[in-house]
Amino acid sequence: MGRSGFDRIPYAWYHDEALYRLEIERIFEGETWSFLGLEAEIPNPGDFRRTFVGEAPIVYNRAEDGRVHAFVNRCSHRGALIQRENFGNVSAHVCLYHSWTYDLAGDLVAVPHRHGVGGSPGMPDDFDMECHGLRKLRVDGVNGVLFATFSETVEPLRDYLGPTHVAHLERLFRGPVRILGYQRQAVRSNWKAYLENVRDHYHGALLHGFQSTFGINRSTHDCGSRMDPEGRHSLLFVRQPREEYENAPPPETDPGPLRPLDEAAEGTRLSLQDPTLLRFEREFDDDRSTTMCSIFPNSTFQQIRNALAARQIRPRGPGAFDLVFTIFGYEDDSEEMTAHRLRQANMAGPAGYVSLEDAEALESCQTGHRAGGSDASVVEMGGRGPIRDGDEKLDDVMIRGFWSYYCDIMGLDPNEG
């Protein structure tokens, strides 16, 4: 870090089909670790879950010895999916087409009629089962958060994440996790725009009226941003000192100021019928009430008060991606705390109080970019100077950090875009 620039990003980079194909090759199937899912989703031997790394359909499962394996969900025979359920428990994966069968390590263990039947010769004598296993990924994790890579040469996971982001994942996954549910949001925008969005403090209080109105995230809040040394991962946080929320009047008597830009709301005082929605039970050893941690290239880990979720990006071409939310709490949560988390879970998500606006903003960018051939975005809130960590709310520095790393891994120069 410390580099300058990366403040003009060509709009074509959000649309170009050939560039997108190169991203799949160099990023999602290259020297990176992608978020797979949580160990808590597959607690028992034989448990599996379907997921994606880039556009590649993936199955990950737990073998009899407890180890987690991940492989491409594609039969080595003719390419059919070997697993069509999202979750389940199996002793082996059997392709529906010709029943080729794979064990929980992804090795091919059965080929029907391999030695022929009724006089037909079957597979050639030199057919080697060992050469036709599923395409495997390397898997590693931090406190039950699983990542996988196609690369044999990428650095070890903890080195890839760096100490700041390892520490944050250890904080957020501080104990055994209880899965509370899933949401999926289909967004018609380029996947990189989402990585910008979760690095973007500037929009938080402006776009998200719910957050500013009810005091979750305001432009005046104490906050900060942290990157890894290469600028590829981000951590954005809002601090609310303990005294502030413990001594604050109940929300129904303090609905917060009006949105400064919303003149239509002048004279109204918005309030919630159920103010417990806003409650923040302190559960970490710090003052961070909101944290957004983005791990390049496909995940964000969310804490909005007590609403915790892992978000996975599944790109679907240059102009669309799916965002899959895995909502979680902890095994030692009381039933009351679980109910609170579930109520608060609707803070974000496809019909939530917050992130539907992100989708609307990103989709409008995707449309706007189409106008004109050589235009670029202006990413210079907070200056064009060195890319480094800070405690300023209104800056684009982590977005520039993202682009500096993206350009490195892709071999691109934004000035030549």
- Residues engaged in binding Fe ion (CB under 5 A): 358
Asked if 121 and 114 count as a contact pair (C-beta separation under 8 A), the reply is no
Least separation, in Å, of the C-beta of 281 and Fe ion? 23
Nearer to Fe ion, 177 or 345 (CB): 345
Question: How long is the chain?
Answer: 417
Least separation, in Å, of the C-beta of 367 and Fe ion? 18
Least separation, in Å, of the C-beta of 210 and Fe ion? 11
Q: What are phi and psi of 285, to 5 degrees?
A: -85, 45
**CA dist., res. 417 & res. 5, Å (int):** 14
Least separation, in Å, of the C-beta of 39 and Fe ion? 28
Computed on alpha carbons and rounded to an integer, the radius of gyration of the chain in Å comes to: 23
68-72 and 56-62 strand pairing: antiparallel
* Residue 235 CB-density burial (10 A; 0-12 exposed, 13-18 middle, 19+ buried): buried
**CA dist., res. 196 & res. 294, Å (int):** 10
Nearer to Fe ion, 169 or 362 (CB): 362
Which structure tokens are listed for 216?
């979750």
Least separation, in Å, of the C-beta of 193 and Fe ion? 11
For residue 21, give the 3-state DSSP assignment.
helix
Asked if 314 and 324 count as a contact pair (C-beta separation under 8 A), the reply is yes
Which residues does 163 contact at the CB level (< 8 Å), separation at least 6? none
Nearer to Fe ion, 76 or 185 (CB): 185
Nearer to Fe ion, 89 or 364 (CB): 364
Q: Residue 25 is inside which H or E element, if any?
A: none
Least separation, in Å, of the C-beta of 202 and Fe ion? 10
Closest residue to Fe ion, based on beta-carbon distance: 358
Contacts of 223-227 spanning 24+ positions with Cβ under 8 A? 223/391, 223/393, 224/389, 224/390, 224/391, 225/199, 225/201, 225/389, 225/390, 225/391, 225/392, 225/395, 225/397, 225/398, 226/164, 226/389, 227/1, 227/164, 227/387, 227/388, 227/389, 227/398, 227/401
Least separation, in Å, of the C-beta of 198 and Fe ion? 7
Nearer to Fe ion, 24 or 356 (CB): 356
Least separation, in Å, of the C-beta of 325 and Fe ion? 14
Nearer to Fe ion, 212 or 306 (CB): 212
Least separation, in Å, of the C-beta of 96 and Fe ion? 41
**CA dist., res. 30 & res. 179, Å (int):** 30
Nearer to Fe ion, 51 or 289 (CB): 289
Nearer to Fe ion, 39 or 358 (CB): 358
Nearer to Fe ion, 95 or 205 (CB): 205
